[in-house]
Chains A and B, each alone.
Chain A
C-alpha cells in the first residue's frame, strides 16, 4: 500500500486548503465571465463603428485586455497590483506601498486612539453607575451617524484649524474603532462571576486590585475579538477619510483619483491593496491573540 492510499489519497496539507482553493477558483471564473459580459457592449460598439466583424474569440480577447474596462479582468488587476507594489520605487506617488503606508500609519494611529478610548469608556461604565446609564446610548448614536457624512466635516474643520495629514484621518478611524472595543470590553470586564468577586471581597481587595488581577485578565478574550473588528473598522475609517477632495496620498486617494480618470484597474488594485492590508492586520491580531491566550491558559 502506498502512502497516498494510506491517507485517503489526499495530502493532509492540501485537504485544509482544498475548499478554499475551490471557492477561489469559482470566484475567479465568475469574475472572468462578468468581465466579458460587462465589457462586451463597448467592444461590440467599437467593432460596429469600425465596421469590423467580431469572432467570439476576438470578442473575449478584447474584453479582457481593454485599457479602461468597465470591469477589469483578474489578471489585469493582478498586474496592476504587482506593478503598484513591486514595479515602482516605494517613494513614488505611483507606488501602492507608499500609499499603503500612508493609510496604514493613520489606521494604526486611529486604532490606538480608538482602542484606548474604548477601554477607558468601558472601565468607566463598569465602575461608575452614572456612566453605566449614560455612555452607551451616546456611543450607539455615534455609530448610527453615517461616517461618510462625518468624515468630510472632520477633515474640513481640522484643515481650517491648520491640522492636516495623519491626525484628521486617525480621528475618523478612531471614531469607528472605539465602538467594538467598548462593547467587547464592557462584556469582558463583567465576565467574572459572583463567586470570584466574592472571593476578592473576602480578601478585602481594593477596586484597583479587582480590576488588574481579575477583571482585566478575564476580559482579554473579549478584547482580542473586538480588536479584530476594530482594526478593520479603523482601516475603513482611514480610507473614507482619504476620499474627500484634496487628498493626494493613501489608498483612499488612489481609489478616488482612479475613479476621476476612469482608471478602473487602478481602483481595483487599490481596493485589493486595502483588502490585503486588512487581512494582514487581522491576522496579526489573531496571532497575538493565540499567543497571549494560550500562554494564559484561556484558549
Chain B
C-alpha cells in the first residue's frame, strides 16, 4: 500500500519578534489510504501547524513531506484535500447550496455537475433540503456540517479537519462524530483530524498521534484495535477505556512534569 502522506523529519520554525518558535521538530509520520488519524496534544504543540504543512498553507523549514506522491503544494494545486476549519466560515450572502457550490465554481465544474454534487454531499452530511437556506438560518452544528459538505463536494480523497467540532456542545458533537464515522466508512477517505478531546480521538481514529510542545513533536503513535464499525456504545467497552488510558499516559509523559 503506498502511503497517502509521508512526513520525514519535518521541522518548522517561526521567526517572531521574541525569537524563533519551534512549532515542529523532526516530525515523522506515515498515513495510509483510508486511515483516520487524530492529532491530540496540549495547546501549542503544533497540531494545527502540522495539518497546515500537509495542506501547503505553511512551508516546513526542514525535512521532506509528500502528499499523494507529490509535494504538498503540487497536491494543493491538484486539489488533493478538503480542509475544514474550527469555524464554518460560510459566506452569509450565499445559501448553503451556494456555499458548497463555491469551490466547485472555482474549480470549473459545470452547472449540472455542481447541482448533482451539492445534492449528494448535502445527503451525506444529513442536510437534505437545507440547500436553499442561508447560514444564519442554521444552528452551529448544521453550519459545521455544511462546511464539511463543502470540503467533500469536489471529491478530494484527503480530508483535513482542525478541531471542526471544538466550538460545539457535547450532545451535538456526539451526533456529528457518529455522522463523520459514517461518512468516512461510506467514502473511504483519508482523514487527518485535530482534537483536544481524548474520547473523540479514541472513538474516531484508526491511529492516534500524541504530540507535545516546545518543540512541537510526536511523542506516541497509537494504533487502535477497535473495529471500523463503531456504535456510540463502544465507548463503554474495556478496549475503549484501555485505549483512552493509553492516550492519557502519552499526553502525561509528553508533558514530562520535570
Question: A-side interface residues toward B, CB under 8 Å?
Answer: 195-196, 198-205, 209, 213-214, 217, 295-298
List which B84-100 residues lie within 8 A (CB) of chain A. Answer: 85, 87, 89, 91-93
9-residue interface stretch from B73-81, B197-205, B235-243: B73-81
**Which chain B residue has the least Cβ–Cβ distance from A198?**
B57
Given the contacts A203-B79, A203-B107, A198 and B134 also touching, CB distance less than 8 Å: no
Question: B-side interface residues toward A, CB under 8 Å?
Answer: 52, 55, 57, 76-77, 79, 81-83, 85, 87, 89, 91-93, 102-103, 105-107, 134-136, 154
**What residues of chain A lie closer than 8 Å to B103, measured between beta carbons?**
203
Q: Is the CB of B93 within 8 A of A195?
A: no
**What residues of chain A lie closer than 8 Å to B55, measured between beta carbons?**
202
Given the contacts A204-B76, A209-B106, A217 and B91 also touching, CB distance less than 8 Å: yes
Give which listed residue, A198, A203, A296, contacts B85 with CB less than 8 A: A198
**Which chain B residue has the least Cβ–Cβ distance from A193?**
B89
Q: Is the CB of B57 within 8 A of A201?
A: yes
A15 to B25, CA, bound (A): 67
Q: Is the CB of B57 within 8 A of A202?
A: yes
Q: Is the CB of A297 within 8 A of B106?
A: no
**Which chain A residue has the least Cβ–Cβ distance from B91?**
A217
**Which chain B residue has the least Cβ–Cβ distance from A202?**
B83
The main secondary structure of chain A at its interface with chain B is helix
Q: Is the CB of A199 within 8 A of B85?
A: yes
A295 to B85, CA, bound (A): 27
Given the contacts A213-B106, A297-B134, A298-B93, A202 and B87 also touching, CB distance less than 8 Å: no
Given contacts A195-B89, A203-B79, A297-B93, 17 further A-B contacts (CB under 8 A): A198-B57, A198-B83, A198-B85, A201-B57, A201-B76, A202-B76, A203-B102, A203-B154, A204-B76, A205-B106, A213-B105, A214-B91, A217-B93, A297-B92, A297-B134, A297-B135, A298-B92
Q: Is the CB of A213 within 8 A of B102?
A: yes
**Which chain A residue has the least Cβ–Cβ distance from B102?**
A213
Q: Is the CB of B89 within 8 A of A199?
A: yes
Given the contacts A195-B87, A202-B81, A296 and B93 also touching, CB distance less than 8 Å: yes
**Which chain B residue has the least Cβ–Cβ distance from A201?**
B57
